[in-house]
A and B are shown apart, each in its own frame.
Chain A
Amino acid sequence: MTRKPRSYYEPPSLMRSPTMTHAVPLPALDERSMRLRRLVIQALDGGGRGHLGSSLSLIEIVRVLYDEVMNHRPAEPRWEGRDRFILSKGHGCLALYAILADKGYFPEAELARFCRNGSYLGGHPEAGKIPGVEASTGALGHGLSIGVGMALGLRIKASAARVFVAMGDGEINEGSVWEAAMAAGKHRLANLTALVDYNKIQSYGFVSEVQPLEPLADKWRAFGFAVEEIDGHDVAALHGALSSPDAESRPKAVICHTVKGRGVPFAENDPKWHHKSNIPAPEIAAMYAALETI
């Protein structure tokens, strides 16, 4: 390890955010959040690679959706009444695989075969292969348009199901995201919720340097969304923002301020952990150690 672990929540763009002004030690994660992260490490270790940082920032987002918000049936993944979740930032799939395995969509043992020949768990999720995966993603900027189409389709069918699309902050550099946002605003898709995993780091480096996004909430508002800005690791805040659609029938955008690599101190806020391969055994052991329940 070449980098001194950081324990402060201090990316520069976040400091300018009106709702998140603290630079304080990160609050402890509870056992459920730790467990889901251990499943991520299990897959990372099995595959010998993975987008660790990009997945760890997403954990509480998928946890709250699958535990508390979405109607879904793990034994019946194509149940017509289910709420749909699209992981548009497909590279964050370790988080999705962890929650799907935890919920019983497929056996946890499969996680150890991540990215291996013969496994259905690839480095980006594929629909039709993995029970519970709605859309194949990995090429960025596709998920929100698909979500718009699903939301329109559900509306025609008079279904009460909702559609959730999780995007990365780097991902929303793609122009197609804003094409989709325009369409969602036009159609007032109250059954659509866009989530931005705003972990402040994209592949090359800090979002504030590569392609700054602020004022991000204003951008979504300008496209016709009801916007909430929350701590994306705060389970109660996520529940509050996601549990119901907007009262004024607008699509919702939930900007989730997160920490890339959250839960593994030496990976937190470090662009080098966006994607890693050939991770030495002691580092894997250190990850598990960091995620032990005290």
Chain B
Amino acid sequence: MRKTSLDMVHELARRDKRVVFVGSDLGVGTLNAMKKEMPERFFMEGVAEQNIIGMAAGLAMEGFIPYVNTIATFLTRRCFEQVAVDLCLHKLPVRLLASGGGMVYAPLGPTHLAIEDMAIMRALPNMTVVAPSDAEEMKRVMAASLDLPGPMYVRFGKGGDPVVPQTEFTLGRAAWIRPKAEVILVSTGVMTERCVRAADLLKAAGIVCGVLHMPTVKPLDAQAVLEAARAAKLLVTVEEHVVNGGLGTAVAEVLIDAGGVLPAVRRLGLADAFTKNYGSQDDLLAEAGLQPEQLADTVKAALGR
């Protein structure tokens, strides 16, 4: 996803002279081709996230569209005030390309995991928060990013994530990957592919399960959430993120604000805790009960089957 996204930065920069790249200190040879072709629009600025965000703001104030890339947790925690004040308060078109969302950096431990990033970014006015499911969707997200007037946070998966077949991406719109049914899994990012596999397992067990993919976590597609709530007896949100403040919270907010009769709702995600173990992204997702078989079992248990 990172490679796709950064290749797209280069492509967008060819198409549009306003596009500039700002990196910190990540990935030997990253965007070498862009650096060679348009050195005046390529910046690799060192381990200084506060400065990078402020600098991107200044470039945006001069009419440029900066695409900023570094590790997700350093883009969200380290320079939060710069993101809030320099980008969101000024409503500037700066794109934060966040490497290693969720448990991607599992072996590196809690300093490198971005498991509350969506909650942090979602709290900021004017910020758009997107978590594509795979590299194909990333291409569409990047293309859609060019003309968004305000700032945008894009959460990357590990890379090589299985592709969820779909053809369209519209900012702020959800997509039905499996049609609505009595049970609906609502997910974002790389969890959507796992939800599709869970739905297939459930189908084999005689339970028809819809999958609603919500790549845009903010602004959330409230209409799609309400449509799901009307159709389902059981609504399950699934995210590679702490359960407080992310997709599940956003969905619950929509449901509660809408009032009326709610379906049963389960919010699945990571515990409100720092991780204790290392291993792989899949290991830690399994510990959190977020792998397809586990998701299917949770649904069965919730249905009493």
Give me the interface of A with B, judged by CB distance under 8 Å.
126-128, 134-136, 138-139, 141-142, 144-157, 175-176, 179-180, 182-183, 186
Contact = CB atoms under 8 A, between A and B. Distances in A.
B133 to A, nearest CB: 32
Interface residues of B, number: 29
B61 A179 contact: no
A146 B55 contact: yes
Contact of A183 (B51, B62, B63): B51
A182 B25 CA distance: 15
Contacts of B51: 145, 148, 176, 179-180, 182-183
A156 B58 contact: no
A141 B53 CA distance: 12
Interface in B32-58: 40-41, 43, 45-46, 48, 50-58
B64 interface: yes
Nearest to A161: B62
Contacts of B43: 152
B89 interface: yes
Given A135-B90, A145-B53, A149-B59, 13 more contacts: A128-B90, A135-B57, A136-B85, A136-B89, A142-B54, A142-B85, A145-B52, A145-B54, A148-B54, A150-B59, A152-B55, A153-B64, A183-B45
A135 B86 CA distance: 8
B82 interface: yes
A180 B41 contact: no
A186 B43 CA distance: 11
A84 to B, nearest CB: 8
B33 to A, nearest CB: 19
Among B53, B57, B58, B59, the one with the most A-chain Cβ atoms within 10 Å of its Cβ is B58
B62 A149 contact: yes
B119 to A, nearest CB: 21
A209 to B, nearest CB: 26
Among B46, B51, B63, the one with the most A-chain Cβ atoms within 10 Å of its Cβ is B51
Contacts of A153: 58-59, 61-64
A178 to B, nearest CB: 9
Contact of B86 (A126, A146, A152): A146
B55 A183 contact: yes
A135 B61 contact: yes
B62 A139 contact: no
Contacts of B64: 153, 156
